A and B are shown apart, each in its own frame.
Chain A
């Protein structure tokens, strides 16, 4: 394919649905281990740290530590779930099982497949975010009404990190490659973006890095919603998340075209 054709804008259509459904049907078969890995793990962290550290800390950011942690955990759990899905599971479908190749021989296109992967990872991460939200409600950490706004936010976070992760998928020669992304991008993000402690605890140079990271924008919206306040600069945060996800998706599409349609 000529280089200019790699850069074509995506052609988005409902043709992605059978591919999304394929992923859903496979997930349904393996749902129990998947639910444990994606949903239970972050919940244990939140409860363990919330009770353990929470007992030592009077208040963080003006609320009990568990409440502070809840907003971060919703975002971080959603981020992890979307990232794992497009990296490991997506890579299996693309590179190991050659499922994408099988699909490309039908009247579907790579644009359809990638859109399906993006939306599937978003859907799957919605479950992870919701699971934490259910725990938040069950423990009475936040009021029900206002936290309903977290649901569209979870979808936006899933979209953002699915789009970014697909870039890594497009570049990866093997599973080991993803370690770079987790070690150099995801882990620092968890530590810099205010999941476990307020960003203003960090030295100012780290704070200025933090301000650029997508997870910071997600938590800036989520935390006031959980703690009963009104988020500030809503539009800017939403645009930042959309931009990371959207630009990521487009770069991923260009790179994946170069990889598979050459």
Chain B
């Protein structure tokens, strides 16, 4: 049984259909990544799943409970890390955890018993009495994650958990999420970072215009949707070269500004050819999830 099962979900704001017939199932113990450009409907999907807004159509069941009818009961066993930190600035680290536990109906003694493990998990053992404004961005993020675990949830929602963090803080966050997966927790995360989805997630759904346009493991998505090799070509002579040779060597060509992306099954002959050109530079690399993402959702800016 999926922990979260969404069928035919729809939600419109005025004339804009933000979620347009979405199907999604998150299985127990997996990390499921929802990736998509800004405005694709990721955050709205999470809000609908939590029962914070009512859908215009479709069904949602979370932890075997119907949402939004029994969303409150379902949220008892769910943890949420929102996009923007909303820790209580007037409370210390410990007080934040205690107060949040109370919202789940937990006694302070019960929450207090969990606090040492939560602080250890967040790397904040020595910061229990610190005020929130004394914490770094990474610490706040980790505390927000620890706060989401205060009720020992089965399912954890993370909305862009590492946006705005430096690489060190991001890696620390990833370690934490892996620990949770090893403990058997189920994670649904949204992200802009392909690397994050690729590293953490068992399955990824690419979302655009309110629909899921591709689903699979990171490898499956790359295998099924794109040529395995990419050669990026740039330099003075790129326009002439593209006109003369790209048809021979590339199965698919995309030009973005001064750079030509050449997608191919076999890049050897192309690389041989480029090696002799002094007016061109190139980069040959395996195709990544980001290439799949850009192929499926396009390169236009979404603001």
Interface residues, chain A, with chain B CB atoms under 8 Å away? 1-2, 5, 15, 18-19, 21-22, 25-26, 29-30, 97-99, 101-109, 261-262
Cα distance, A98 to B73, chains bound together (Å): 22
Contact A106 B82 (CB under 8 A): no
CB <8 Å contact, B53 and A107: no
Q: Is the CB of A106 within 8 A of B104?
A: yes
Which of B52, B76, B82, B90 makes the CB contact (< 8 A) with A102? B82
19 contacts between A and B (CB under 8 A): A1-B53, A18-B103, A22-B88, A22-B99, A26-B90, A97-B89, A98-B86, A101-B86, A102-B82, A102-B86, A102-B87, A105-B52, A105-B75, A105-B78, A106-B103, A107-B75, A107-B76, A107-B105, A261-B52
B121: interface (CB < 8 Å): no
Q: Does B130 contact A (CB under 8 A)?
A: no
Count of chain B residues near A, Cβ 8 A: 28
- B67-107 vs A, CB cutoff 8 Å, 1 = contact: the mask equals 00000110110101010101111110001000110111100
B50 within 8 Å of A by Cβ?
Answer: yes
Which B residues between 102 and 151 are near A, CB-CB below 8 angstroms?
102-105, 151
CB distance from A70 to the nearest CB of B (A): 34
Given known A18-B102, A18-B103, contact A25–B95 (CB-CB < 8 A)? yes
Q: How far is the CB of B180 from chain A (nearest CB, A)?
A: 17
Separation in Å of the B195 CB from the closest CB of chain A? 27
The answer, among B52, B91, B103, for a CB contact under 8 Å with A26, is B91
Which residues of the other chain, A, contact B50 by a CB distance below 8 angstroms?
A: 105
Instruction: Establish whether residues B54 and A107, one from each chain, have CB atoms under 8 Å apart when the complex forms.
Output: no
Q: Residues of B at under 8 Å CB distance from A? A: 13, 50, 52-54, 56, 72-73, 75-76, 78, 80, 82, 84, 86-91, 95, 99-100, 102-105, 151
Q: How far is the CA of A164 from the CA of B61 in the complex (A)?
A: 38
**Which listed residue (B54, B75, B103, B151) contacts A19, Cβ 8 A?**
B103
Q: Is the CB of A107 within 8 A of B72?
A: yes
CA of A108 to CA of B76, assembled, Å: 9
The complex places the Cα of A26 from the Cα of B92 at a distance, in Å, of 11
The distance in angstroms between the C-alpha atoms of A262 and B13, with both chains bound, is 9
CA distance A166 to B105 in the complex (A): 26
Closest to B56 in A: A2
Docked pose: A25 CA to B102 CA in angstroms:
13
Residues of B within 8 A of A26 (CB): 88, 90-91
B104 and A107 within 8 A (CB) = yes
Q: Are B72 and A109 in contact (CB under 8 A)?
A: yes
Which residues of the other chain, A, contact B75 by a CB distance below 8 angstroms?
Answer: 105-107
Contacts of B73 in A (CB 8 A): 107
Query: Are B99 and A25 in touch, CB under 8 angstroms?
Result: yes
Given A29-B90, A97-B86, A107-B72, A5 and B103 touching (CB < 8 A)? no
Known A22-B88, A22-B102; 18 more pairs at CB < 8 Å: A2-B54, A18-B99, A18-B105, A21-B99, A22-B99, A26-B88, A26-B90, A26-B91, A29-B90, A97-B89, A104-B52, A105-B82, A106-B104, A107-B72, A107-B73, A261-B52, A261-B54, A262-B53
Residue of B nearest to A257 (CB): B53
The smallest beta-carbon distance between B8 and chain A, in angstroms, is: 17
CB <8 Å contact, B102 and A99: no
Q: How far is the CA of A19 from the CA of B100 in the complex (A)?
A: 10
Whether A102 contacts B53 by the Cβ 8 Å rule is no
Q: How far is the CA of A106 from the CA of B91 in the complex (A)?
A: 18
Across the A-B interface, give the 10 residue pairs with the lowest CB-CB distance, nearest first.
A18-B102, A98-B86, A106-B103, A105-B80, A102-B86, A1-B54, A26-B90, A107-B75, A107-B72, A107-B76
